[in-house]
């Protein structure tokens, strides 16, 4: 299994695959400071909602590891470092979820320890929690795959957008976890992979994973999806998610909404695969989700190649929101959530 991010006890480092360098080369980078984790998340070296949540938890550990103040300044330090890390990417809820979870355990351990030993106790608690979040994520993805594989039939062709595979998680994947589980069960099917402009996560990452797993797949440009649906070549669609509201509005990589609209028109089932950590039950509507906007250079350039005039105005949202009426079901590690989402999400 691809190890997207792991803790290396030998060097006391957090090691991760630098996803910006794929598919040209597979490079494992190491972080020893919270600033390096923040930089990796901000610049998409680590990306995908569950994966950045895991990175966030390890970032808290690294922050405490480098703490040099007195015990009476620890709380303020932890608050500041947590806020700093949480601000790197605002849309995916897993980051704030993992930071809050780790911080809660850290504060409890700090408070319960003897004076003089509190920082060390908090540091070890942070590491244990980060390791636990990683292992839990892998298990959640396997359960998502098991629940979702039932929808993939022999002879099917499916479509996926962006990368919701091992690279986006602790391992195995959410949307791609569905394909992995179906493939492991012996199903014969095919996957169409959207390239996913502007950063080509589908072309660079999902295509790479499909080849590694030997799952039959074909890469397409984003604007080819409609014609495939119209010709009857797509039997199902599954994507990941970065945040899901309590009414079932789903924020995911830009272009997801377009595919959902096309799927509705062509009567193709549209599924979302995500762990329970991606749900944000504090908000209801999609309009309440903060959508990250990224630098214009991501559209004007492809690597170092200029694609458009440098002085052209650019709109570059990283995500869009798909309303619940366009979604067939949400596949989670706790089971499949069917319509109506406003009632059934609460039950799960």
Residues annotated as part of the active site: 242
For residue 221, the 8-state DSSP code is -
Find the angle CA(140)-CA(33)-CA(122) to the nearest 5 degrees: 65
Measured distance between the N- and C-terminal CA atoms of the chain, rounded to whole angstroms: 28
At 145, which helix (H) or strand (E)? helix 118-148
Question: What does the alpha-carbon distance between residue 171 and residue 17 come to, in Å, rounded to a whole number?
Answer: 12
- Which residues have C-beta within 8 Å of that of residue 305, sequence separation ≥ 6? none
- Which residues have C-beta within 8 Å of that of residue 159, sequence separation ≥ 6? 191, 192, 194, 225, 228, 229, 234, 236, 237, 259
C-alpha pair distances (Å), 49 with each of 35, 130, 162: 19, 15, 12
Angle at which helix 118-148 crosses helix 175-184, to 10 degrees, equals 60
Question: What does the alpha-carbon distance between residue 274 and residue 238 come to, in Å, rounded to a whole number?
Answer: 10
Question: What does the alpha-carbon distance between residue 7 and residue 13 come to, in Å, rounded to a whole number?
Answer: 6
How many Cβ atoms from other residues are within 10 Å of residue 45's Cβ? 20
Find the angle CA(78)-CA(44)-CA(60) to the nearest 5 degrees: 15
**Phi/psi-derived region of residue 214, left when phi > 0, alpha when psi is between -120 and 50, beta in every other case:** left
Question: What does the alpha-carbon distance between residue 6 and residue 13 come to, in Å, rounded to a whole number?
Answer: 9
């Amino acid at each position: 299994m691809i190890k997207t991010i792991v803790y290396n006890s030998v060097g006391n480092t957090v090691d991760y695959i630098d996803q910006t360098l794929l598919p040209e080369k597979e490079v494992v980078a190491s972080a020893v400071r919270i600033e390096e984790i923040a930089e990796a998340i901000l610049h998409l070296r680590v990306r995908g909602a569950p994966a950045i949540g895991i990175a966030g938890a390890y970032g808290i550990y690294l922050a405490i590891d480098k703490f040099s103040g007195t015990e009476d300044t620890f709380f303020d330090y932890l608050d500041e470092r947590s806020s700093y890390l949480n601000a790197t990417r605002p849309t995916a809820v897993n980051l704030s979820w993992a930071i809050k979870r780790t911080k809660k355990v850290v504060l409890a351990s700090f408070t319960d320890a003897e004076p003089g030993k509190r920082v060390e106790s908090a540091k070890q608690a942070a590491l244990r929690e980060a390791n636990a979040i990683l292992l839990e994520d892998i298990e959640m993805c396997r359960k998502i795959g098991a629940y979702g594989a039932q929808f993939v039939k022999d002879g099917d062709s499916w479509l996926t957008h962006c990368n919701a595979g091992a690279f986006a998680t602790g391992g195995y994947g959410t949307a791609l976890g569905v394909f992995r589980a179906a493939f492991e069960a012996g199903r014969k099917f095919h996957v169409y992979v959207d390239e996913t402009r502007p950063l080509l996560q589908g072309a660079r990452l999902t295509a790479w994973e499909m080849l590694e797993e030997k799952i039959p797949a074909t890469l397409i440009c984003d604007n080819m999806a409609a014609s495939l649906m119209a010709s009857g070549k797509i039997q199902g669609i599954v994507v990941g998610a970065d945040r899901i509201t309590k009414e079932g509005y789903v924020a995911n990589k830009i272009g997801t909404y377009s595919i959902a609209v096309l799927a509705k028109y062509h009567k193709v089932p549209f599924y979302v695969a995500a762990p329970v950590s991606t749900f944000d039950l504090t908000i209801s509507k999609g309009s309440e989700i903060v959508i990250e906007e990224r630098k214009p250079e991501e559209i004007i350039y492809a690597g170092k190649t200029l694609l458009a005039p440098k002085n052209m105005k650019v709109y570059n949202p990283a995500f869009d929101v798909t309303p619940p009426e366009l979604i067939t079901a949400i596949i989670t590690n706790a089971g499949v959530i069917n319509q109506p989402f406003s009632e059934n999400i609460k039950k799960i």
